[in-house]
Structure 1
């Protein structure tokens, strides 16, 4: 249940006298690997040092997508999966999302809209080299 307005509207409380009128959302919480070992690849991007960490991240992504499809959610908001405090490599995680969405299982038009809620730690938005820019360049326009 959502009980606050948007940032644009000052995050004020919504009218709480009629809880049945408040928006309802479903939430799936999933932890990312915590501070996995990473290496810099030949193309200067950070990657998981252990291929098992990459596979674990992709399997967790699949679980979230399967659950959302099974529950018939057509609009979903996904997170950065550990690209902040847990220090997962954002280029690799964004690529993992793209690879999972390209798998036959997830190409069935399950969702009307998929967006990523990613913190812009650099303040540079889509043009920057922070998580927002990385996710935007890798995932914008992918058909789901």
Structure 2
């Protein structure tokens, strides 16, 4: 079994790009996917099941016969995604790309950049045609 850990935020376009990429992997019918959402600020106590993008990706992948599990985290998204990849012994980490200016990356950081540079697993960067 091939295991993919996918970081899903609230953005539906990035979530769709990740689902597209996972579905296009060779042998996707033998793939297990763990969808990870990291809450950095959650005063109302929402759960991963309440994130629309997570629900849609889960339903879509399951309808294709892909085994999907959810992993709710709290904290820095890059750190929690890398920890989840280790916990689930992932073969691949999938992240959605987000367009940022060089200054924006320097000031705010980049989850994708951190996952690529700090991780010890292969990373699939999924892009959307229409950045927001």
Higher strand proportion: 2
- Output the TM-score relative to the length of structure 2: 0.36
Higher helix proportion: 2
- Output the TM-score relative to the length of structure 1: 0.34
Larger radius of gyration: 1
The answer to which structure, 1 or 2, has the higher relative contact order (CA under 8 A, 6+ apart) is 2
